[in-house]
Amino acid sequence: MPSNSVTVSKAEYVKDHILELTFSDGVRAEIDFAPWIEKYPFFAPLKALDYFCNFSLDGWTVVWPNGADIAPETLHELAVKSLGEVAA
């Protein structure tokens, strides 16, 4: 499956600003959203854990009520990279 067609098929809260994401190609990994929250003002509302936990899936990726989201391809790339680091 080409990486440009991968989607987030499942998301579960883990802790802090970490979600475990499952992708349409079966890849599953924990992703820490803290770097985006710290870097981009649009993600600032997600600092509050109650708000962060109010995520949903829009058929493509994880989204929050203020419209914040991250491209599924970006999340998938991070997931694959993190799994490679764990396996190394």
- pTM for this entry: 0.89
Tell me the H-state helices in the chain: 34-39, 49-52, 72-87
Measure the CA angle with vertex 79, ends 17 and 83; round to 5°: 115
Structural domain span for residue 22: 3-87
Domain count, the chain: 1
**Predicted confidence pLDDT, tens digits, the chain (88 residues):** 444 589 999 999 999 999 999 999 999 999 999 999 999 999 999 999 999 999 999 999 999 999 999 999 999 999 999 988 765 4
CATH label of the domain that carries residue 10: 3.30.2020.10
Are the C-beta atoms of 20 and 11 separated by less than 8 Å? yes
Residue type, 78: L
pLDDT at 85: 73
What DSSP character marks residue 33? -
